[in-house]
Structure 1
Amino acid sequence: MSEGFPHLIDELVRAAAVEDRAFSDLLPRAMHESQGLSPAELTAVLPRMAEGVAQAPPNLGCWLAIMAGAWVERGASPEPAGLAVVEAATRVAAAAHAFATAWKEATGGDPPDPEESGPSQEIVDTVGPRIDGDPVAAMMAWFATPQFGMSAHTMLATSPLVRGAVSDRERRASAFSLLEQHCPAMGWVAGLLRVLDGERLLVLDRASRRGWTVTISGIGDNFQLHTLLGGALVGRPGGLPGDPADPRWISCFTSDDVEPGTPPVVGWWNLVDAHGAWIWNEGVPADIPALNGTRVVVLDPPAYRRSWSPGRRHPLMTATLTVEGQHTAEDLASWWPHIAPPQDPRSQM
């Protein structure tokens, strides 16, 4: 890589930070020149892009974030810019929520679509009296939410290190969730902030009283958890009897695209938590409550036949489920007295 591209990125970041009009010319140049560069060359300039994302106002920083995310999807490392993107997206989400609240108070209706419309003086005049702070900045944050949502989604989905570096994840997830109805990408970000990495689960089979310790990472929902548990335990040595998982299911629920012709997954169990409540496939592993500091999944016979489409909720995120140990009924004798019988799911409604 010549010195020309790093210099161009330096100029682009400087222009974004000071709101120089040259930004509008530099951005397409940087996009074009990046096309022929390798992932390593793009990774080399991402620390400078991270500085720009952190320093620039949201209406310009969002385009730096989008370009950084596109480079990551081409193979650049997410770590140099990932945390900066998530931090900026968090600030934007807070300002955007204030904007949406002010708009609702002023008009009684939904705010303008952040992807189908754009900033205007009329919008500033509408929310200005109800915004505690700069109404222009709040408006600009609102219209930057799609770009920051997409970029933060890419950074979080592609790197467990970025996910692990984000502090106060539940609070941030709640903040992003508030914007999901207006910007779906923010909902995806909220979901990724709740992903568990390196989390140990205790899996108990009620019928045999046996169990397994498994470690999970990068699992986006309980459809995925259920499928990977089936792949790890059913028809495997030291596991459980039954029809083993189709290898194509395991492939597409860990790292690969869905192979054409892959049939729907057929579930093996009702998943139940230690308190007897059903673990719904639509939920996420982070919803599973802990018992004595460990999340517990109890395997019960299925109440009815369940099937679901193969494929990961977050296609950019790879997943693992590793069996770390097997436990006999005798090993688990002290656990079973604390495991509740399954509840009627209607009692959970």
Structure 2
Amino acid sequence: MALHQLADQIVRAAVVEDRSFGDLLPQLMEASQTASPTEMNAAMPRLADGIAEAPPNLGGWLAIVTGAWIENGADAETAAGRAVVERITEVTSGALAFANAWEEATGGKPPDMQDEQPSQQAVDTVAPKLGDGTVGAIMAWFALPQYVMAGSTVLQNAPSIRAGLTDRDSRALTAGQAVQYLGQMDHYHALLRVLDGERLLVLDRASRKGWTVAIGGIGDNFQLHVLLAGALIGRPGGLTGDRPAPEILACFLNADVPPGPPVVSSPWNLVDAHGEWIWNEGVPADIPLVNGTRVVVIDPPSYERTFPAGRRFPMMAASIRVEAAYLPEDLDNWWAHIPPAKR
């Protein structure tokens, strides 16, 4: 049977909660092992229907299939990828409702969503609080790991979906509340905060020069730190110093990290427009906006920092581009509001 036909059958079963779903799922997974990306792409719209409409416990398996297809070459920027991301916030909210009801009823932690299964005890515990929403909340609780795993794959591979997210802050808030129950959610929460097509104003305190730099797909400030060095050191009108080697920069852009991995030395300190350190463990979205612009100030390093090469999210390709360069006299209005370097 063709892959798109299997996908149609399993979605029909999932939406009406037909018992045949359990038999069709291994068939779909087996067929997926030899399917081409073209075949998977052709079946993706049907999976999108199931992810959006099926109960969470069955839709979660369709989300897992979508993630696996993406990792095997299917296009992440499809209706199925979008459906996964759109469904996650709803499922997370249901899972949080279950957790809150359980904690209110018992004073203890809810069942482990990865190691335990739905039970009559769970129903009896939360039903007085959740009423008609009991079954949906329980299904959401135990299905959340599947959605988060698939959603992390989608967001790493689909810059247009990341960039097109609406209510990003609300989504991130909901995901952040679930981190305490599911460690994987920390990765998904961070991916929701990835900036794409974001323009930074980068100011060098020593030379008083500056640049507008557009970034995308950067998972943390370790990555930002190194990519800024690659973009600004050694370019005409740029900064002097030791530019990271091309093979090192590739590890922070889109290449696999060689065994080891190589160790990178940081060329400077980064601070924001208020003089506060931009911590490497943070993300570019943490850099505060000043009149709608995130400002990065380059200072000499106060001590030697070293860290391993690589990206926090290995499947997510990053980009950085210098769009404009400014002379010191162009930046007088900015420097007037930048506090002196901390000693």
Superposed, which structure 2 residues align to 1:92-171 within 5 Å?
Answer: 92-131=91-130, 133-171=132-170
Q: In the alignment, is residue 340 of structure 1 matched against residue 339 of structure 2?
A: yes
**1:194-219 CA distances to partner (integer Å, 9 max, x unpaired)?**
11101111100001101111100000
Please name the residue that 2:296 is paired with: 297
Please name the residue that 2:10 is paired with: 12
Please name the residue that 1:73 is paired with: 71
Q: Is the 8 A contact 1:278 1:342 kept in 2?
A: no
**Matched position secondary structure for 1:31:** helix
Code of the aligned partner of 2:39: E
Q: For this pair of structures, how many residues does the alignment match?
A: 342
Q: Deviation above 3 Å: which 4+ runs of structure 1?
A: none
Code of the aligned partner of 2:42: A
Please name the residue that 1:347 is paired with: none
Q: Distance in 2 between matches of 1:169 and 1:67?
A: 25
**1:161-207 CA distances to partner (integer Å, 9 max, x unpaired)?**
11122210111011011111221222211111111101111100001
Which residue of the other structure, out of 35, 38, 41, is the alignment partner of 2:36?
A: 38
Q: Distance in 2 between matches of 1:261 and 1:7?
A: 45
Deviation at 1:237, TM superposition (A): 3.0
- State the TM-score, normalized to the length of structure 2: 0.96
Q: Distance in 2 between matches of 1:309 and 1:120?
A: 45
Code of the aligned partner of 1:246: A
Unaligned runs of 5+ residues in structure 1 are 345-349
Q: Is the 8 A contact 1:248 1:259 kept in 2?
A: no
Q: Is the 8 A contact 1:249 1:262 kept in 2?
A: no
Deviation at 1:234, TM superposition (A): 2.0
Please name the residue that 1:325 is paired with: 324
**1:84-138 CA distances to partner (integer Å, 9 max, x unpaired)?**
1011111100000111111111222211111111111011111222226421211
Q: Distance in 1 between matches of 2:140 and 2:291?
A: 42
Code of the aligned partner of 1:4: A
**1:10-41 CA distances to partner (integer Å, 9 max, x unpaired)?**
11000000000000001110111121111111
- State the TM-score, normalized to the length of structure 1: 0.95
Code of the aligned partner of 1:308: F
| TM-align CA RMSD | 1.4
Code of the aligned partner of 1:12: I
Please name the residue that 2:61 is paired with: 63
Unaligned runs of 5+ residues in structure 2 are none
